[in-house]
Amino acid sequence: MRHSIRAAFPVLLLLASGLMAGVKVVPAQIGQARYVALGYDTGDRFLSEAEGLAQPDKILREDQTALVAVRDQLESWDKYVITDRPEEAQLLFAVRASRRAVVSVGAPLRGGPAGGAAPGTTSYGGQISSQGDMLTIYEARSGSTGIILWRERQASGFPSRLFDQFKADVERSPKKP
């Protein structure tokens, strides 16, 4: 027991000094990962980039723009390989652009030759979220989100400020021994 505490002391000291200096120490998984998938934080789940393309009514244009910016920055950094298949990823990068409220409402369409109902749908929806753009890095578990490994929120943080903060945190973190 005494030996394991002695062995862990340098790591604890590094973490404590990083916290006191205001440096965000990222989990080792982030530094060791190679494959990442991109997607959207919809407020209640992670929606992969492909799912977002298949369900455009669930994604705002600002979210799409933010995801393209994160993709471009990841590709120019050349630290990770982006996969389109979340089940192959080690990390999931989720973006959420700032919004106060989003509401979508549909109504049945009426009319037609005999006053009958024309084909139509009724739909209701809404989102309420805190202000600020958000970038979240999740541990990937068979294509689904695991624990949150890194998250930051900033007013007007996309396209570059949030990613630059993430990159700086990763590059400042201790390297694998």
Question: Does the predicted model carry a pTM greater than 0.75?
Answer: no
What tens-digit pLDDT sequence spans the chain (177 residues)? 454 444 444 444 444 444 444 567 899 999 999 999 999 998 889 999 999 999 988 898 989 999 999 999 999 999 999 999 999 999 999 999 886 555 555 555 555 455 544 555 565 665 555 578 899 999 999 989 999 999 999 887 666 789 999 999 999 987 665
pLDDT for 4:
46
Does residue 118 belong to any structural domain of this protein? no
Does residue 113 belong to any structural domain of this protein? no
125: buried, middle or exposed (CB in 10 Å: 19+, 13-18, 0-12)? Answer: exposed
Does residue 123 belong to any structural domain of this protein? no
Domain span at residue 94?
26-98+130-172
Does residue 4 belong to any structural domain of this protein? no
Is the link from the previous residue into 108 a cis peptide, with omega within 30 of 0?
Answer: no
Does residue 106 belong to any structural domain of this protein? no
Only one residue has tokens 């949150």, namely: 148
Does residue 141 belong to any structural domain of this protein? yes
Strand partners, 78: none
Please give the structure tokens belonging to residue 135: 């970038």
E strand residue ranges, the chain: 35-41, 46-48, 81-82, 91-96, 101-105, 124-128, 133-141, 144-154
Contacts of 123 (CB under 8 A, 6+ apart): 104, 105, 106
Q: Say how many domains are in the chain.
A: 1
Does residue 120 belong to any structural domain of this protein? no
Does residue 122 belong to any structural domain of this protein? no
